[in-house]
Structure 1
Amino acid sequence: MCLTNLPSKIVICEVGPRDGLQNEKIDLTVEQKVELIERAVTAGIKIIEVGSFVNPKAVPQMADTDQVVRMLEKVPDVEYRALIFNLKGLKRVEDCGLTKAKLTVSASRTHCLRNMNKTPEAAVQSFEECSAYASEHGIVLSGAISTSFGCSLEGTVPFAQVVSVAKCLRRLGITEISLSDTTGMANPRQVYEYCVAVQQELPDVSWTLHFHNTRGLGLANVLAGMQAGISRFDACFAGIGGCPFAPGASGNIATEDLLNMCREMQIDTGVDLEQYLELGYLVEKYLGGQRSSALLRAGTCQALVADRQ
């Protein structure tokens, strides 16, 4: 097999502090969350999703994000961002000193109507006040399109729906958009085709891919995205988390698994894999029990060979 168009370097955004921990039953302390974030940064992560500013009744695990952000020893060249849904959340971002926030909307019309009583396009339109406020206060907004590849209520989400939502986000001035496989229903052929097409439709957008490993296709989908020209990927320490819309779903793709694949393929990430393995073990210690990371079970190839010499 000939792999073409592979990048020489990729950028990884660590989403464990938000998308991972928000789905865990054990609620870590502020100090533990800060430790995990700072260790990820020390290992070389340059973009990290530190939490979300949403209704604490809906996501109680994220209720202390303000405290977490204020306690962090922030590194100047690292991007710290948080998820928001409305202007109230954006103002909380500003109050605690962050300058990057992410808005999210579902590409699935069925899912969006059921949860927001709005079409995806109408939901994005409701973000206009956030866009105006962010522009006036020096905050950068990115966008995430959840259920970009499949929905547990609707099935496969047509590309036309995905690009329609992306164009709505672009009209708000957002130039960084994530295609998120929230339910873990994507497959490599679909990922490749969607990524090629969306870059043709909106060539001035910086695209990120966000995969869950629900059906074991997470890293295969990353590889398909790479071949389509994408070089930015979300990942999660220890592969924690899951999806409330996909019963039995496993977590996000594990950051250490992605790091290992890239190292074996000689793709630069700028992140220290050995430090990340230690971080992954710490995550499991704090949460109790093993998670979905393959590398935390098997170790690196180099370590295996060294042990047998």
Structure 2
Amino acid sequence: MGRLPDRVSITEVGLRDGLQIEKRILPPDEKLALAKALIDAGHTSLEVTSFVSPARVPQLADAADVLAALGHTPGVELKALVPNIRGAERALAAKADVLVFVLSATDTHGVRNLNRSSHESLAELREVVTTTSAAGARIDVSLSVAFGCPFEGDVPVEEVIDLAGRIQQLGVSRMSFCDTTGMATPRQIQALAEALRERLPELDPAFHFHNTRGLGLVGVLVALQEGIVRFESSVGGLGGCPFAPSAAGNVCTEDMVHMLHEIGIETGLDLTRLMEAARLAEQFVGRTLDGQVMKSGPRLHLHGRDGCK
């Protein structure tokens, strides 16, 4: 398998990326209960909401209320996604710990998702960086369709690296590279990780996979072999982009943690409590979720001799 890291960090995105596509709109008290269950499982980084148009994403219209209800837990960062300067100002007013500016690696997805091209978003990011710096807040960047676009096809690694370099020049050092609709292949993941290591060594990248075609955990394993140590995932496998066709859920947090622990990589997360959080999420959204370990239990969860027929 090659050399693997001893430890990775995971940002839980189920409360934002996960819930934004759900038909049932969870009330703030259920979101709060789910957030607390995830924090109790050991999460120290959660993307909890987004400050986007409530008309486009009504599931997250209560962003400020959710952040106010959660408050500040020592050692836990609460992230809020923002698409523009107006969203950034709202997130700062709501006292989000970290702002995550989202832009697309392709113009077509950018227009569909954000109503602006990638270069227009880059210009907006410049203003957001100025505003967050003045407020003393951290700004991360989430780069959508970094491995493939459902409208334009494969996205060349050179284009992704060029855009990431321009973002880094604005003073952003933490960036998520997102496989928004599950188009990433092992070779693409390897190529992007290598290019980041060689061309942008000061960048702190996270990889974010979706399981649309069943390759989510494969992507995580390839990324690990290439030295990536930050990942994003969603409780129960919740999620998907509401503005991309055939979008499916994120890599499931508890499934990924189970795999990581089985190959000796520490996460700081309690798998049993993660499974409890996943079942709670399933109860709240009112449908069966895609997570596997929440149903089967860990590999060494043993049964009595009468349990197998």
**TM-score normalised by structure 1 residue count:** 0.95
Distance in 1 between the 2:81 and 2:295 partners?
31
Cα contact 2:181–2:248 (8 A) shared by 1: no
SS in structure 2 at match of 1:234: strand
Percent identical pairs in the alignment equals 39
Q: Tell me, which stretches of 5 or more residues in structure 2 are unaligned?
A: none
Distance in 1 between the 2:195 and 2:305 partners?
47
Corresponding residue for residue 215 of structure 1? 213
Distance in 2 between the 1:256 and 1:43 partners?
10
- For 1:135, the aligned partner's letter is S
SS in structure 1 at match of 2:259: helix
- For 2:56, the aligned partner's letter is A
Give 1:158 deviation, angstroms.
0.6
> How do 1:45-124 and structure 2 match up within 5 A?
45-113=43-111, 118-124=116-122
Distance in 1 between the 2:4 and 2:101 partners?
29
Distance in 2 between the 1:205 and 1:234 partners?
16
Cα contact 1:30–1:68 (8 A) shared by 2: yes
Match for residue 191 of structure 2 among 187, 190, 193: 193
Distance in 1 between the 2:75 and 2:201 partners?
26
Distance in 2 between the 1:8 and 1:37 partners?
27
Q: Tell me, which stretches of 5 or more residues in structure 1 are unaligned?
A: none
Distance in 2 between the 1:125 and 1:246 partners?
23
Distance in 2 between the 1:66 and 1:27 partners?
16
Give 1:114 deviation, angstroms.
5.2
Match for residue 296 of structure 1 among 267, 270, 294: 294
Distance in 2 between the 1:52 and 1:120 partners?
19
Corresponding residue for residue 247 of structure 2? 249
Corresponding residue for residue 143 of structure 1? 141
Structure 1 pair 74–248 and aligned structure 2 pair: CA distance change class (3 A): same
SS in structure 2 at match of 1:257: helix
SS in structure 2 at match of 1:301: coil
Distance in 1 between the 2:225 and 2:249 partners?
24
Distance in 1 between the 2:20 and 2:203 partners?
28
Give 1:302 deviation, angstroms.
1.9
Corresponding residue for residue 238 of structure 1? 236
Distance in 2 between the 1:95 and 1:114 partners?
27
Distance in 1 between the 2:285 and 2:114 partners?
32
Cα contact 1:145–1:165 (8 A) shared by 2: no
Cα contact 2:113–2:243 (8 A) shared by 1: no
- For 1:233, the aligned partner's letter is F
Match for residue 132 of structure 1 among 126, 130, 144: 130
Distance in 1 between the 2:113 and 2:243 partners?
11
- For 1:129, the aligned partner's letter is E
SS in structure 2 at match of 1:289: coil
Corresponding residue for residue 155 of structure 2? 157
Distance in 1 between the 2:116 and 2:19 partners?
28
- For 1:7, the aligned partner's letter is P
Match for residue 8 of structure 2 among 7, 10, 13: 10
Distance in 2 between the 1:121 and 1:88 partners?
18
Aligned-residue CA RMSD in angstroms?
A: 1.5
**TM-score normalised by structure 2 residue count:** 0.95
